[in-house]
Amino acid sequence: MNIAQLQQEIIKLKKEKDVCVLAHSYQAREICEIADFTGDSYKLSVDASKVTNKTILMCGVRFMAETCKILSPDKTVILAAPMAGCAMADQMDKALISQVKENFPDYTVVAYINTTAELKTICDVCVTSSSAVKIVNNIDSKNILFIPDCNLGAHVAAQCPDKSIKLLNGGCPIHACVTVDDVKAAKALHPDAELLVHPECVPAVCELADYIGSTSGIMDYAVKSDKKEFIIGTEISIAEHLQYMCPDKKFHILSLKLICPNMKATTLVDVYNCLAGTGGEEIELDDDTIRDAKRCIDEMIRLGG
């Protein structure tokens, strides 16, 4: 089957089998085209919790599928590409953070949503890249232990000067690879373009940006802006999607290092196989994990709302 035929079969099967397909904005265009919802990790899990379909198929990475399962425990949640982890979420586990917490007993533990469900069970509140500053400002405690991303943590710390924020040495190896030299090279090639970067990039790169924001934030900014040319400092799919959305503007990739192999693991054939019942992995979390991890996500909704 060619791409168009596969897409037709997928659209037919998802109706027949009552499946809602979610695609993170880092997914390929042909997958986003057949999805019921696209967006960032938080938006997708909230979208999924509102639909009536019995089954959710996540085209993204494992922590996103887990977040859907936590918010929709009665639904069947399937991860389309079982090999799709997140290099940042896999950096820190419950055992490590339990130990660290012993050294910082009076700190509120703030976990980026890019963490495993198991780790969320021992954290106090979750944040996303778009909500982190607001939520940290709304936390009563002055002392914050921010995990796992030290770059997003540094971005938050700079904007929350009243808080004492401890960071650990974690982060996204894809975004953290981008250097100031990469920025200089991209600006030399596209001197009229604005630079939009994700806060998972290192602070020296963020300092050179015209806008710092989440994947959705970057897309909204570029769509609404009067400017005509942009360098996109996050996963390269975002530049491609924006080019389709805004044909009168120009979008450039900041660096070829910004390709997330985990996000690129899902193919249209994986989606088809999941719907045909021969692929994917059902996410299974025990009741205690769902209950304790949900507390952390509920706090995010309460403090970020």
Exactly one of 114, 130, 131, 237 binds ligand SF4 (CB under 6 A); that residue is 114
Give the contact letters, 191-230, x = binds to ligand SF4 (CB under 6 A), - = no.
Answer: ----------------------------------------
263 counts as binding ligand SF4 under rule CB under 6 A: yes
Shortest separation between residue 110's beta carbon and ligand SF4, angstroms: 16
* Non-local CB neighbours of 201 within 8 Å, separated by 6+ positions: 151, 175, 176, 178, 209, 233
Shortest separation between residue 167's beta carbon and ligand SF4, angstroms: 16
Shortest separation between residue 249's beta carbon and ligand SF4, angstroms: 24
129 φ/ψ angles, rounded to the nearest 5 degrees: -65, -30
- Interatomic CA distance for residues 207 and 197, integer angstroms: 10
128 binds, among ligand 13P, ligand SF4, none (CB under 5 to 8 A by kind): ligand 13P
201 binds, among ligand 13P, ligand SF4, none (CB under 5 to 8 A by kind): none
150 binds, among ligand SF4, ligand 13P, none (CB under 5 to 8 A by kind): none
Contacts of ligand SF4 in 48-77 (CB under 6 A): 61
129 binds, among ligand 13P, ligand SF4, none (CB under 5 to 8 A by kind): ligand 13P
Stretch touching ligand SF4 by CB under 6 A, among 73-81, 169-177, 185-193, 273-281: 169-177
Shortest separation between residue 17's beta carbon and ligand SF4, angstroms: 27
Structural tokens at position 81: 């590409």
Shortest separation between residue 98's beta carbon and ligand 13P, angstroms: 24
Exactly one of 59, 86, 92, 147 binds ligand SF4 (CB under 6 A); that residue is 86
Instruction: Between 86 and 133, name the residue whose CB sits nearer to ligand SF4.
Output: 86
121 binds, among ligand SF4, ligand 13P, none (CB under 5 to 8 A by kind): none
DSSP codes of every residue in the chain: --HHHHHHHHHHHHHHTTEEEEEETTS-HHHHHH-SEEE-HHHHHHHHHH---SEEEEES-HHHHHHHHHH-TTSEEEESSTT---TTGGG--HHHHHHHHHH-TT-EEEEESSS-HHHHTT-SEEE-TTTHHHHHHH-S-SEEEEESBHHHHHHHHHH-TTSEEEE-SB--TTGGG--HHHHHHHHHH-TTPEEEE-TTS-HHHHTT-SEE--HHHHHHHHHH-S--EEEEES-THHHHHHHHH-TTSEEEES-TT---TTGGG--HHHHHHHHHTSS-EE----HHHHHHHHHHHHHHHHHH-
Interior CA angle at 298 toward 115 and 156, to 5°? Answer: 55
Shortest separation between residue 40's beta carbon and ligand 13P, angstroms: 3
38 counts as binding ligand SF4 under rule CB under 6 A: no
Q: Which residues bind ligand 13P (CB under 6 A)?
A: 24, 40-41, 114, 128-129, 172, 200, 214-215
Site residues (vs ligand SF4, CB under 6 A): 61, 86-88, 114, 172, 174-175, 235, 260, 262-263
